[in-house]
A and B are shown apart, each in its own frame.
Chain A
């Protein structure tokens, strides 16, 4: 299946000296979520603005649903829903009027308009506030309203720039559920975020950006494979700490470090991916350490990002 979004060596420079985006390339399939992660100034927002046809690449090509973005702006915009970072809303309007305004701008048929707005408000849990002024909405509701706006014309590609920033955990969870539903509906979602735990388990692929360049890109597993040296910290709880200490001391070089926070509670830094932690747990069990809890302190995405960032700095 042809990817819905294709970026081929896309660069963007504002002043000819620094590249906001430098030869970035990636592909996103329909029904998948692609996470763009990286520190501030990495080029995530510039990349999304180019995908939304709001900025023109200095070089390279962007193709959306088979259309060249540079030559088919209008058609591409009909296929793309874009939610910018720190987006503004018309404070005096109600959510229904706001969505109706954008539905009109996207030329959604009058018969479909009301139905789609009702469905979106329902899906994003905003029905209760449909008649309230936007200025009275909470941050989470405003964010969900922004997402609803990007969906009002039934796009194939969704571009979300830091959608979860400044949201409380409850609002983040609702946003995450909504994104999962959209993914299953067949949309290609490109999401940039600083909040890696939100993306972990949600994103199918990841692009790690640093200084305008894409330092790693692909399915999370494959990126993890590429950064196989990644050290993952696990939290392990055992009932017999003495036996566990002996088992850990004998485990070998794949256990890079271990820290006993309190008796029976360890933080183990393991190198070598899932195989290494499986072997380590087996060793603990065989030594009779009675393992009661094993969990990574950070997600695979966080580990990959940390390893990539460390490699980039080195």
Chain B
């Protein structure tokens, strides 16, 4: 009930009935424009004679492109809908939420009887209703193309499911970014950050589907799954995005299988991620003083991301990629860092627990994220053991040292996050500390990479020793400073 009320109220706030009708008209006009442009392009392209390549330069058989105005308009429509729902809607949600938060109106919304879930749904579904309405025409055109046979029905179903679940996950991710603590930036900046990040991720995901190896990871972004779904059908989309020289890859059954599975994988990932993100957002809306993620939520999110990255890896992956644990770890380190940071308590919560004289349990909100990060590292190792045959027995001594070092670096992340949260009050101070710690982590990664690939020259030896010294001294100094703060806090300073 609360959800329905909130969605209706926010939708009504964003676009009143007359305005909604206007937007629907714009959307219909957009479709008409797309169809006209498609007709014009097809009219230009159809009479074009095939390029007469010299027989010596002919690398692939000439394949006629199946031009059709409806199919081309459908390509345009789907691209527009994808951009609208997967980039613009999340940006709009982030902008709205950040602006509400900054101006203080979020507190007024919180004082209404809406449940946190209702408020979240209102912000995620109701607030960006203008963009939804603008996307309505192209989306209906895409559905029409599916029903009229321009694209197969299973492709239509796959694209619709990916669009729906991808939109939910992307908007919730945007909401989480806007709810992140200590960011007093305005709505426009947050919106640009969200749009830029999701747009870049979308482009990378889209390109994943075009390659026979990376297609296994195309499901990580809804844009990749959309591309895979459309490429699986031999239509205009495939001929527009894949050159004639590369079309023979579609004879590869494993490539086709991976493309068929991408929408399913994307849907499962989006649904799993959405549940976790929605719970975190609701918690933050209900109790703004708590960290963004609870410890179990942080561990579950990490496990979901780690599993998503590792599921496509073949069981013989380690024999093909001896560096696999470290390469995957390199992708997961920023994820662990972000999750540790956003599950770290504020200074006030940390000090309150300290002064109460009880040691918080590691999964409680006022505890540091050390327990959660340890669980993340363990879950990563467990996934490696499950996924890679013979892990870790087939690693040699230096690789084991490198892996151990990398895990030690990971376990220092909660200490850095707690130090930043409890020592620095201003954005600038936190940013400076983040830069310094990033430099430290970069040095650690360089040194770990060198340890992982013996033999070492004298120069490499020096980097490794430097990295090892920094790897001990920096956390030790931060640990000492944190102990000093503990004493001062207990003394009431």
- Cβ-defined contact, B113 with A15, below 8 A: no
- Cβ-defined contact, B113 with A78, below 8 A: yes
CA distance A14 to B103 in the complex (A): 22
- Cβ-defined contact, B13 with A101, below 8 A: yes
Interface code B1-37, partner A: CB below 8 Å = 1, 0 otherwise? 1100110110011001000000000000000000000
- Cβ-defined contact, A104 with B105, below 8 A: no
Instruction: Kindly state the interface size class of chain B when it binds its partner.
Output: 20 to 34
CA distance A89 to B104 in the complex (A): 9
Decide yes or no whether B347 CB sits under 8 A from chain A: yes
Decide yes or no whether B459 CB sits under 8 A from chain A: no
The stretch among B188-196, B350-358, B401-409 that forms the contact with chain A is B350-358
Interface code B344-364, partner A: CB below 8 Å = 1, 0 otherwise? 000110011111100000000
Interface code B106-125, partner A: CB below 8 Å = 1, 0 otherwise? 01111111110000000000
CA distance A90 to B8 in the complex (A): 18
How many residues of A are counted as interface, with CB atoms below 8 angstroms from the partner's CB atoms? 32
Interface code A139-160, partner B: CB below 8 Å = 1, 0 otherwise? 0000000000100000000000
- Cβ-defined contact, B492 with A17, below 8 A: yes
Residues on A with C-beta less than 8 A from B348 are 14-15
B12 to chain A, nearest CB (A): 6
- Cβ-defined contact, B352 with A87, below 8 A: no
Residues on B with C-beta less than 8 A from A16 are 351-356
CA distance A93 to B105 in the complex (A): 13
CA distance A54 to B116 in the complex (A): 12
- Cβ-defined contact, A77 with B113, below 8 A: yes
- Cβ-defined contact, A87 with B347, below 8 A: no
Decide yes or no whether A298 CB sits under 8 A from chain B: no
CB proximity to A under 8 Å, residues B306-362? 347-348, 351-356
Contact of B352 among A13, A53, A77, A88 (CB under 8 A): A13
Known: A15-B351, A53-B111, A105-B114. A84 touches B6 (CB 8 A): no
- Cβ-defined contact, A77 with B112, below 8 A: yes
Interface code A93-119, partner B: CB below 8 Å = 1, 0 otherwise? 100010011101111000000000000
Decide yes or no whether A52 CB sits under 8 A from chain B: yes
Decide yes or no whether A74 CB sits under 8 A from chain B: yes
Known: A16-B352, A17-B492, A105-B6. A88 touches B104 (CB 8 A): yes
Residues on B with C-beta less than 8 A from A74 are 2, 113, 115
Decide yes or no whether A26 CB sits under 8 A from chain B: no
CB proximity to B under 8 Å, residues A48-84? 52-54, 56, 73-75, 77-78, 80, 82, 84
CA distance A87 to B489 in the complex (A): 34
Closest A residue, CB atoms, query B350: A15
- Cβ-defined contact, B5 with A84, below 8 A: no
Residues on B with C-beta less than 8 A from A102 are 108, 112
Decide yes or no whether A40 CB sits under 8 A from chain B: no
Decide yes or no whether A86 CB sits under 8 A from chain B: yes
Residues on B with C-beta less than 8 A from A56 are 287
Residues on B with C-beta less than 8 A from A82 are 108, 111
Closest B residue, CB atoms, query A89: B105
8 CB < 8 A contacts A-B: A15-B351, A54-B107, A73-B113, A88-B108, A90-B105, A97-B16, A105-B113, A106-B112
Which positions in B face A, CB cutoff 8 Å? 1-2, 5-6, 8-9, 12-13, 16, 103-105, 107-115, 287, 289, 347-348, 351-356, 489, 492
